[in-house]
Chains A and B, each alone.
Chain A
Amino acid sequence: GQNIDQPTEMTATEGAIVQINCTYQTSGFNGLFWYQQHAGEAPTFLSYNVLDGLEEKGRFSSFLSRSKGYSYLLLKELQMKDSASYLCAVSTGFQKLVFGTGTRLLVSP
C-alpha cells in the first residue's frame, strides 16, 4: 500500500523558521512534491525533489532522502500569509500523485 505521514498541525511565530516533515512508503517513486493549500482553495506548487539533497527557492527549501523515505519542507522568515495546509505528495508512476494528510500550519504574531 501507499503510506505518507505528516504531522497534523504545527504552530509557529511570525519571523521564525519551521520544518515540516514527511515520511513515505510507496510502491513506486518518481519524485516528491510539496504543495501549499489555503482553506477552500486548490493546492499551489511549492517544490519538487527527485534526487537526494536540498532544493532552495527563496524562503522555502525542501530536502529529500530517498534511502530513508524522508523529506522536509523548511519555511524561513515566516509570515502570517504562510498559515495554510502543506501537502506532501509522492509521484508513484504515470504521474499519479499520492498525497499525505497535510500539515496545518498556524503562524501567530
Chain B
Amino acid sequence: GAVVSQHPSRVICKSGTSVKIECRSLDFQATTMFWYRQFPKQSLMLMATSNEGSKATYEQGVEKDKFLINHASLTLSTLTVTSAHPEDSSFYICSGRGPRAYEQYFGPGTRLTVT
C-alpha cells in the first residue's frame, strides 16, 4: 500500500515552454503532498508543501510564480514549471503524507531536461 505515481517519468522541453508534472496517491488520500528537486549527486531539496484545497507553501528561494502547484483533490497534486530554462533541468520528486502522520511516500520522480 501507500503508492505514489508521477507522470511523466521523463520530459524534454524547449526553453521558454511550460511543463506540467502530475503526482497521484493511488491507494491513500494525501491531504498534504510535498515537491522536491534533486540535482545530480545532490540531495533532495524541498520546494514546497501542498495542502489539498489551499495555496502551497514555498520554501525560501523557490519562485512561486515559476513553479505553480495545484492540489485540487486528495489524490492529485500538479507542479507546472513555467517558462522553463536549462537551469530548471533536474529530477523532480513528489511525496504524499501517509496514513501515519510521520510517513512520506515518494513518487518515482520526473526527469526534466530543458534544451
**A binding-site residues for B, Cβ under 8 Å:** 30-31, 35, 40-45, 48, 50, 87, 89, 91, 94-102
Cβ contacts under 8 Å, B54 to chain A: none
Q: Contact: B102 with A30, CB < 8 Å?
A: yes
Is the pair B44, A95 in contact by a Cβ cutoff of 8 Å? no
The B interface, classified by DSSP as helix, strand, loop or mixed, is strand
B102 touches A99 (CB 8 A): no
B8 within 8 A of A: no
Q: Which of B11-19, B67-75, B81-89, B103-111 contacts A (4 or more CB under 8 A)?
A: B103-111
Total interface residues on B, CB under 8 Å, equals: 22
**How far does the alpha carbon of A102 sit from the alpha carbon of B42 in the complex, in Å?**
8
Chain B residues within CB distance 8 Å of chain A? 4, 32, 34, 42-46, 49, 91, 93, 97, 101-109, 111
Report which of B4, B42, B49, B101 forms a contact with A96, defined as CB distance below 8 A: B49
Partner of B43, one of A31, A41, A48, A87: A87
Identify which of B44, B46, B102 contacts A43 (C-beta below 8 A).
B44
A22 to chain B, nearest CB (A): 12
Q: How far is the CA of A83 from the CA of B27 in the complex (A)?
A: 29
A42 surroundings in chain B (CB, below 8 A)? 4, 93, 106-109
Q: Is the CB of B46 within 8 A of A94?
A: no
A-B contact pairs, 13 of them (CB 8 A): A40-B111, A43-B93, A44-B106, A48-B102, A50-B102, A95-B34, A95-B97, A95-B101, A96-B34, A97-B44, A97-B46, A97-B104, A102-B43
